[in-house]
Amino acid sequence: MHIRDLFKQKKFTLSFEVFPPTREGNLENLFVTIKELSDLKPDFISVTYGAGAAHGKRLWKSPPGLKGL
């Protein structure tokens, strides 16, 4: 489902935005945070990467298992 479809179906939505670590390394804290937020039953959780172009040309790939947490 696209977010725009969700907004058409529901008058109110709950969502969270998270930011992955700025340096390469352990994503454990990100997963813990997402799990804790998912317990609140949000409609979606977005992952924002590279806001402000701080990461140059590096791309962040979503780790397997992130979708559906």
Strand partners, 44: 15
Euclidean distance between CA atoms 3 and 51, whole angstroms: 20
Burial class of residue 31 (count of CB atoms within 10 Å of its CB; 0-12, 13-18, 19+) = middle
Instruction: Exactly one of 17, 24, 28, 36 is catalytic; name it.
Output: 17
17 given a catalytic annotation? yes
Q: Enumerate the active-site residues.
A: 17
